[in-house]
Structure 1
Amino acid sequence: MKASVYCITRTVEQAEHIVLELKQGGFTSDDISALLPDRRGSRDFAHEHHTKAPEGATTGGVVGLGLGAGLGWLAGIGALAIPGIGPFIAAGPIMAALGGAAVGTATGGILGALVGMGIPEFEAKRYDAKVREGSILISVHTESGSQRDAARDIFRRNNADDIATGAEASVP
C-alpha cells in the first residue's frame, strides 16, 4: 500500500541530515517533500519570482537558496508566497500541491495542500501550525511496509517530532 511518512524538524540542519539519510536509504528526490518558512532576507540571498495569478501565489525559480546539500538535492525546490501567510520554500510533491488550486485562498494554503496530499485534517492542522511557527515539514512517499519502517527509523534517529504515516490521496 502506498503511503507517506511525515515528520517535523526544528532546524534546517536537522532536515538536511534527514534528507541525506533518506537519499542514502534509497529514496529518490521525487519521493521526498520538504516545506519550510523562507526566513531569508533579500540582502542575504538572490531570488526572483514570477507571478502565477491563477493560483493566487507567487512562485519562481530560485537562485542561491543558501540551503546545503541535503535540501538542495530535492527536486523542484522553489520559493512560494502564499497570500495572507507569507513566504515558504518547498520541494518535491508538496511543491506541486501548493502550486495548485489549494493555494487559492489563505485558509486553503498549506492546510488545503496537506489534506489534498492525503494527510488527515487533524494532523494537517498540527503540521500547518508548526510550519507557520518556523518548523520544517518533511514527507517521504513509500511503496511498502519496509520502506515506511526505514523512513520512520531515519526520522527517529534524527530526533524528528510528530512522526506519522498516512495513506496517500490518489492523483487523477
Structure 2
Amino acid sequence: MQTITALFDDYDDAADAVGELESIGVPSSDISIMANNARGWYRNTQSPAAEDAASGAGIGAVVGGAGGLATGLGAMAIPGVGPVVAAGWLASTAAGAVAGAIVGGAAGGIIGSLTDAGVPEEDAHVYAEGVRRGGTLVTARVEDDLASEAREVLHSSASVNIADRRGEYEADGWAAFDPAAGDYSAEDVEREAARRRAT
C-alpha cells in the first residue's frame, strides 16, 4: 500500500481528481480530501462525518457509500491551518490528533498525520501550508498495482507542482509549516489566490 498526495488551488479540481481516482478503482474509503474553509463556502457544521471525525471514528465508513466522498464532508478546525472541510481517513486521523492535542497535549497535528501516512516530512509541511493558504489536499492510500496509475491521475490533473510551490513559499521567507502561526482569514486566502492568478 502506498500513500499518494496532491495539492490543488481549486476545490473543484480536487473533487474531479477524487472522481478520477474512484474511476480507476481506488475505494472511497481510501481517499481523503481536506479543503480550506476560511471563506465559509461550506457551511454544514453539523455533518455526521464531522462528529465521527471529532470522536476519532473512521470517516471512511461515512463517505464510502453510494453517495460518494462529498457527502461525508465535515467541518473542523486544525491548529495553524484554520477552518477546513474534510472527509476520509486522513480527516479522521487529523481530527484525532487535534482532539489529542486539546486533551493531552499530543504533538504532530496535521504534519504528524501526513508523515504517519507515509508522506515525506518536507512535503507534508508544504501540503499543510498550502491548505492553510486556501488549497485543497487529496490523499489516497492505494494498492501497489494501482500506485502508478493513481499517481498519474493526481499529477496530470490541475494539481500544484509541489517543488515549485515550496520554492514560491521559500522565496517569501517561509521555512516550514508552523501550527502556532495565525490562521489565514478569508481576505488572506483571497489575496493568496489573486497572487497565484497573477503569476
Same topology, TM > 0.5: yes
Aligned equivalents of 2:93, 2:44: Cα separation in 1: 25
> Is the 8 Å Cα contact of residues 44 and 74 (structure 2) preserved in structure 1?
no
Determine whether 1:45 maps to 2:40: no
How far the C-alpha of 1:133 sits from its partner, in A, is 0.7
How far the C-alpha of 1:84 sits from its partner, in A, is 5.0
Cα 1:106–1:12, aligned 2, differ >3 Å: closer, same or farther? farther
Moved more, 15-24 or 81-90: 81-90
Match of 1:97 in 2: 93
How far the C-alpha of 1:126 sits from its partner, in A, is 1.1
**For 2:68, which of 69, 73, 82 is the aligned residue?**
73
Matches within 5 A, 1:1-172: 2-41=1-40, 45-48=43-46, 59=54, 73-74=68-69, 76-83=72-79, 85-101=81-97, 104=101, 108-144=108-144, 146-162=145-161
Cα 1:156–1:46, aligned 2, differ >3 Å: closer, same or farther? closer
CA deviations 1:110-155 (Å, max 9, x no partner) are 22221222222111111111111111111111111x3111111211
Cα 1:22–1:109, aligned 2, differ >3 Å: closer, same or farther? same
> Is the 8 Å Cα contact of residues 152 and 163 (structure 1) preserved in structure 2?
no
Aligned equivalents of 1:49, 1:31: Cα separation in 2: 20
> Is the 8 Å Cα contact of residues 97 and 117 (structure 1) preserved in structure 2?
no
How far the C-alpha of 1:59 sits from its partner, in A, is 4.2
Structure 1: 5+ residue stretches without partners = 53-57, 61-71, 165-172
Equivalent residue letter for 1:14:
D
> Is the 8 Å Cα contact of residues 80 and 132 (structure 2) preserved in structure 1?
no
Aligned equivalents of 1:124, 1:84: Cα separation in 2: 13
Structure with more of its chain in strand, by fraction: 1
Aligned equivalents of 1:46, 1:92: Cα separation in 2: 16
Task: Indicate the RMSD between aligned Cα atoms, in angstroms.
Answer: 3.1
CA deviations 1:69-114 (Å, max 9, x no partner) are xxx7217431111245421111111112112135516973322221
> Is the 8 Å Cα contact of residues 76 and 95 (structure 1) preserved in structure 2?
no
Aligned equivalents of 2:75, 2:110: Cα separation in 1: 14
Structure 2: 5+ residue stretches without partners = 56-66, 164-199
Equivalent residue letter for 1:48:
Q
Structure with more of its chain in helix, by fraction: 2
What secondary structure, in the 3-state scheme, does the structure 1 residue paired with 2:20 have?
helix
How far the C-alpha of 1:13 sits from its partner, in A, is 1.1
- The aligned length equals 144
Aligned equivalents of 2:74, 2:88: Cα separation in 1: 10
